[in-house]
Structures are given as C-alpha cells and as structure tokens.
Amino acid sequence: MPPPTIHLVASRSKTGKTTILEKLVPELKQRGLKVAVLKGHLNHYDLDLPGKDSWRFAKAGADVAGMTTPDSYILIGSSPGKSGNEAAADFLKDLDLILVEGNKKTGNPKIEVIRSDLNPEPLLLPNTIALVTDLRDLEVGVPVIDIADHTALADFICSEFLGAALKRVDGAATTGEKEQNRGPGAEGEGALTHFDRSGRPRMVDVSGKDQTGREAYARGEINMAPETLARITAGSMAKGDVLGVAQVAAVMAVKETGRLIPMAHPLGISGVEVDFNPVEGNPAKIEIGVRVKLTGQTGVEMEALTGVSVAALTIYDMCKAVDKNMTIQNIRLIEKKGGRSGYYRREQY
C-alpha cells in the first residue's frame, strides 16, 4: 500500500515551502521514519529533457531510468494511467511518508503556507488539513501551526497519518518527546503525555519550547432557582456582591492553577477576563466565561477551566444559604490559540 502523500502548497511562490520541508525532514527522520520529498506539478525537469540520455532510455521503454554516482542516485519513470504523484507513491511504497512541494490541484491532503507579508489570505483549498503561518489569531476551521515550529508540524503529521508507521519503528522516538511521555500500552493520537515510560506521573518538560502567545477561553454554567438569580442581580444576598466576588475568585484561581492541578506548570499569566451572563428562566442559570492569556512555553487551557470552576463554586458558596439545589455543569474549553497544536474552537458551545 502506498504511503501517505502530503502536499505543501501556497497561493504564490517565495513563501518558504522549500525551507519548511528542509527543516521538517530532520524532525521526521529523528522519529525513525523513511521520508521522500518530491517537487510537484512541474511541466518537465532537466533530467528528462528531450535528447538527454535519461529521456532516450525512457523512450526506449525502460520502466525506470536515471543516473547514479558513487554515493547517490536519481531515478525517473512513469506508469500508464497514473499521474506522476500516483506512480511515485506506488514506486515508493516501502517508505513511511511522501512530502510534495506544490500542486494545489491534487486531491491529496494539503498543508497551506501563509505569510503575513506575501499571502495573508488563506486559500483553504479542498482537503486542506492545516495552515503553517506567521500570523497570529488566524481563525479558520483547521489547525494553525507556527511557521517556525517545525517540531509541531512533525508532531501534527505523525499524529494524523503515521500511527501505524510509528508502531513499526523499533526503539526509535515517535513524535518527539511524546515517546518518552507515553504510558505503557499507549499508542498514537491521544496518548497521555503526563506519564513516563514506566507509567508514573510526571510534569512534562517544556524547556525546549519557544515562548509564544497563548490564549484559552472556557465556559460553564450554574443552575439555580429563579428567585436566587433575582436576588443575585438585585444585590440582596447577605454575603454581598455575588458576581463581584466570583470574578475576583476566578482571577485568583487562574493564578493558582499550578498549585491546584498536580501536573500543571506555574505560569506568569499576562491577562484574565471574566464574564457572567445571567439567563432567566425555569430554572435560571448564570453562564460563566473566563479568557486567559500569556506569552510562554505551555498553554492556558487548565487555567481557564479552573477559573470557571472556582467562579461557579464561589457563586454556590455565596448563595447556598438560600438555594442548596444549585448545580454546576457543562464546564468546557471553547477556544484555544497558540502552541504546537495551533488554533482550536469547539464546534458547538
């Protein structure tokens, strides 16, 4: 079976596709993978120009023609009824991955390169699986990967396409640090990174990551009796301003997440925003939102989720004297930005 073929495309030239592939290949090789890199969608190549020896060999009927030196080789060929990409993939079936620079018209998976100074508007062609870009806060429906983070790009490709290939690699690292972090029996996408090889819990080492902008937004709900909500909005609770205290509690919780969640990192948070949306009805509820920002080496999803949780618990504490039936529910991550996994947004709130 031919290996996965992934195309690196852009709306124009000079976006750095060649450089990205040049940096990506060593990352993949470190994982023990066999990788081919092709230049795609050319009208011709010098090796196969009419009159050249290789052209003459091919015209004579050779299935494969090419050239060799003492330490390298170049091969060309074709297969009736197949495109160049299809023929190459079939010929290279013993490899783990084929990367192709170019060919926007292919039906194969595509990773699009976006540069703020050259082509800031993404094409988002059919079968685009990710964007590689230097733009921040680019909101699209596919993962967004920092153009300089070649490790993150390799991690993404491995998690999406190479689970089986990585299992075949005997003793080699898989997706970078993830092989060291996985617990016994964990394989492929979704492996838990907070366990070492012996299955013991550990804090993930992020010292090798770049300092980048990170952001996360989480939401949750607390349901209550309509009378309780009315007293909250009127400010008539005995303990005082319920939402004001809950807002302070959320900010404090965000800053203390590294002390509350065992494997979370202590972080220098740069910003916290808290919003409350009282919703009247039967039962009534308050929707809580917490957005957290920082520039650092790890994400702030746990900080946002912790902020929502503690805000909801604070509302319960402030109001439990009059309504012990309140319920806290539906705490979830809505959006995250930055880091190796790029942009994420929950499809349904």
Positions marked catalytic: 317
Nearest alpha-carbon partner for 304 in 312, 316, 293: 293
Nearest alpha-carbon partner for 35 in 4, 72, 58, 10: 4
Rg (CA), the chain: 26
User: In the chain, at which residue ranges do the beta strands (DSSP E only) sit?
Assistant: 5-9, 35-39, 64-69, 72-77, 97-101, 110-114, 128-133, 144-146, 212-224, 271-279, 284-296, 327-337, 344-345
Q: 262: how many CB neighbours lie within 10 A of its CB?
A: 9
Burial class (CB in 10 A: 0-12, 13-18, 19+), 41: middle
User: Which residues lie closer than 8 Å to 272 by C-beta, 6 or more apart?
Assistant: 250, 251, 254, 255, 290, 291, 292, 293, 307
Alpha-carbon gap, residue 181 to 221, rounded angstroms: 34
| 3 state SS of 203 | coil
Q: Which helix (H) or strand (E) holds 156?
A: helix 150-161
User: Which residues lie closer than 8 Å to 344 by C-beta, 6 or more apart?
Assistant: 143, 333, 335, 336
Alpha-carbon gap, residue 2 to 238, rounded angstroms: 70
Buried b (16+ CB within 10 A) or exposed e, 106-144: bebbbbbbbbeeebeebeeeeebbbbbbbeeebebebbb
Tell me whether strands 64-69 and 72-77 are parallel, antiparallel or unpaired: antiparallel
Say which amino acid occupies 84. Answer: G
Q: 338: how many CB neighbours lie within 10 A of its CB?
A: 22
Residue 213, strand partner residues: 295
